[in-house]
Amino acid sequence: MTLWFKERDVPYSIIGGIAVAFLVTPRSTQDIDSIVWLDLDHAEDFLNSGARFGFVPRINDALDFVKRSRVLLLRHEPSGLDIDISLAATPFEWELIEHTRKTSLGEFDIQLPTPEDIIVMKAIAAREIDYQDIRRILDVHKDLDHKRIKYWVKQFADVLEMPELFDNLAELLKSGI
């Protein structure tokens, strides 16, 4: 996947469970999640270029779906892995991609978000597994920028009209886990 992104010169970051595994400790996950900075007008060309690397749509209406949701649902045919590629759209997502850190993985490098940015994404998703991931990150990374985390979660909580997102995060940060 990273070779594909690099060839297409698409800024990206690996996110989700894989990123947590690299930032903290390994955990199981069902797919690989990433976020890219790609204009919707280029989605079809980008999608078509993925076939050379073994990436194919896993739904029939992949282009319609990406236009509605800004997510490409793919499968890496050689490995059978499901791949979710989110097309970034917000200032936070652009910052996340700008702040990525290159991490070596054997013969190749991958781009990972900062622990703070993963916490923001996990706080917004707000599932039990996400709260577990936040706790694990807080346990390992003690010197986090709480101000940045709170700022972005508050922005999303306000826009989504879900104040509980911020309240739940504040409780986790306060507990110091």
pLDDT tens for the 177 residues of the chain, in order: 888 999 999 999 999 988 998 888 777 778 899 999 999 999 999 999 999 999 999 999 999 999 999 999 999 999 999 999 999 999 999 999 999 999 887 887 889 999 999 999 999 999 999 999 999 999 999 999 999 999 999 999 999 999 999 999 999 998 765
What pLDDT, on a 0 to 100 scale, did the predictor assign at position 43?
94
Half-sphere exposure of 78 (CA within 13 A, CB side): 7
Residue 100 vs residues 53, 106, 124, 173: alpha-carbon distances, Å: 23, 18, 19, 23
Find, among 103, 91, 80, 59, the residue nearest to 159 by Cα: 91
Give the global pTM: 0.90
Dump strand ranges (E) for 20-130: 31-36, 55-57, 71-76, 81-87, 101-105, 108-112
Closest listed residue to residue 18, CA positions, set 6, 27, 7: 27
Output the furthest CA–CA distance in the chain (Å, rounded). 48
Residue 13 is predicted with a pLDDT of 96
CB 53 within 8 A of CB 4: yes
DSSP class of residue 111 equals: E
Pairwise CA distance, residues 97 & 92, whole Å: 9
Per-residue pLDDT at 29: 77
Q: CATH code for 1-113?
A: 3.30.460.40
Estimate to the nearest angstrom the gap between the alpha carbon of 86 and the chain centroid. 7
The pLDDT value given to residue 131: 95
- The whole-number pLDDT of residue 176 equals 61
Contacts of 175 (CB under 8 A, 6+ apart): none
Alpha-carbon Rg for the chain, nearest whole angstrom, is 16
| Alpha-carbon torsion (172, 25, 123, 143), positive or negative | positive
Q: Domain coordinates of the chain in residue numbers?
A: 1-113, 114-177
Instruction: Give the amino acid at 161.
Output: E
Q: How far is CA 118 from CA 6, 63, 100, 136, 148, in A?
A: 22, 27, 11, 11, 12
Q: Is 83 helix (H, G, I), strand (E, B) or coil?
A: strand
